[in-house]
Homo-oligomer: A and B are copies of this chain.
Amino acid sequence: MSKATTHDMRCSVYIATSLDGYIARPDGGLDWLSAAQQTGEDYGYARFAATVDVVVLGRSTYDTVLGFGAWPYGGKRVVVMTHRPAAPRHGEELFDGTPAELVARLRADGHRRVYVDGGRVIQQFLAAGLLDDLTISIIPVVLGAGIPLFDGSEQALLLDGAEPFPSGLVQLRYRLAP
């Protein structure tokens, strides 16, 4: 593998939050996302997903996705970061190490873009300096309580863009400042 390939992998976050920074209600509820659901508007998700060859999920997010019924990551490598047993049904891998170990492995395998999803996993990647960019879609609602996207780590960001949508959702794109 060339050195260029080795350095080329990006780890990305693509997530919706309330204006007060929650990714779910205290009980994990996502009903409030419907405030921005509009037919024919995916807020760039398909375009983003087309650039992704690996999905890294936290255990809670994985369990939530399993509850959706349909498996949304067909054609992509999926790694679930968990310390507990699971019964993979779609070829997903379980990983019990650190984010840095996982990133090193994925880079060695020649991957190009990692979609990092799940509150705690995102926080761990951020704290370890392993995130390259974040796309945050702010839903026009204040929840007042919930599971926060960020927790504990300070990080300067560089704004790449901000786009408002007719639903009231605003999508913010950041790169991580060096």
Given contacts A19-B136, A140-B158, A162-B164, could you give 13 more A-B pairs where the C-beta distance is less than 8 Å? Answer: A19-B21, A19-B157, A20-B21, A126-B142, A140-B157, A140-B174, A140-B177, A142-B157, A143-B154, A144-B150, A157-B168, A159-B169, A159-B170
**Residues of A near any B CB (own CB < 8 A):** 19-21, 35, 126, 136, 138, 140-145, 148-159, 161-164, 168-170, 172, 174, 177
Copies in the complex: 2
User: When the two chains form their complex, are residues A155 and B142 in contact, meaning their CB atoms are under 8 A apart?
Assistant: yes
Contacts A19-B136, A20-B150 given; does A141 touch B162 at CB 8 Å: no
Question: Which of A156, A158, A169 lies at the interface centre, i.e. has the most chain B CB atoms within 10 A of its CB?
Answer: A156
The answer, among B136, B141, B145, B155, for a CB contact under 8 Å with A157, is B141
A152 to B159, CA, bound (A): 29
Sorted nearest first, the 10 A-B pairs with minimum C-beta distance are A159-B168, A162-B164, A20-B150, A140-B157, A21-B21, A142-B155, A162-B170, A144-B152, A144-B154, A144-B153
